[in-house]
Amino acid sequence: MKASMMNFSPIAAEYSIPNHELNNLFEDYLGFKRPEYAPNPDKVPIVDVTINGSRHFLWEIIEDSLIRKITSIVSGLKLLILDGHHRYAASNLLREKDGIEYTMMMLMEGGTGHFCYCHGTGQ
């Protein structure tokens, strides 16, 4: 991690944006609307793989204007860490001690905008 200046152990987190602004931005950029996917030949994913019948894509975004829009949308957004709270704490320590500023995070849009944690109740 010190050599690459990045923590590659991902943290999974959920966010909620009632009007789906971030998803809409990606759909507009990539040229498709969910749930259908029709590949845009101008926006080819760098990864396109099917695992256990589920198709997964990964695109690289390098356009500064799009990155600024994404940053604006997620700025101040509250996240619920689903998996990786210890990695999040370790990443903060790496940032403070070693100057490692980046950590891989997978963000997923939640459904209702209300977060609920139910433990051991079967609810």
121 within domain boundaries: no
pLDDT, residue 37, reads 76
SS3 (DSSP) at 22: helix
Instruction: Establish if 104 belongs to a structural domain.
Output: yes
Identify whether 89 is part of a domain.
Answer: yes
Q: Is the pLDDT of residue 23 over 70?
A: yes
Residue 114 lies inside a defined structural domain of this protein: no
Mean pLDDT of all residues belonging to the chain? 82
**Residue 96 domain-assigned?**
yes
What pTM was computed for the model? 0.66
Q: Which residue has the higher pLDDT, 35 or 109?
A: 109
Position 38 pLDDT exceeds 90: no
Q: Is the pLDDT of residue 46 over 60?
A: yes
Rounded Cα gap, residues 29 and 14, in angstroms? 22
Inside any domain, residue 17: yes
Range of the domain at 80: 6-109
Q: Give the tens place of pLDDT for each residue, 80-114.
A: 899 888 888 888 888 899 888 888 888 888 865 44
Assess if residue 115 is contained within a domain. no
Q: Do the strands 54-58 and 47-51 form a parallel or antiparallel pair, or are they unpaired? A: antiparallel
Per the structure, the count of domains in the chain is 1
Beta-carbon contacts of residue 54 (< 8 Å; ≥ 6 apart): none
5: left (phi over 0), alpha (psi -120 to 50) or beta: left
- Whether the CB-CB separation of 122 and 28 falls below 8 Å is answered with no
d(C-alpha 90, C-alpha 7), whole Å:
9
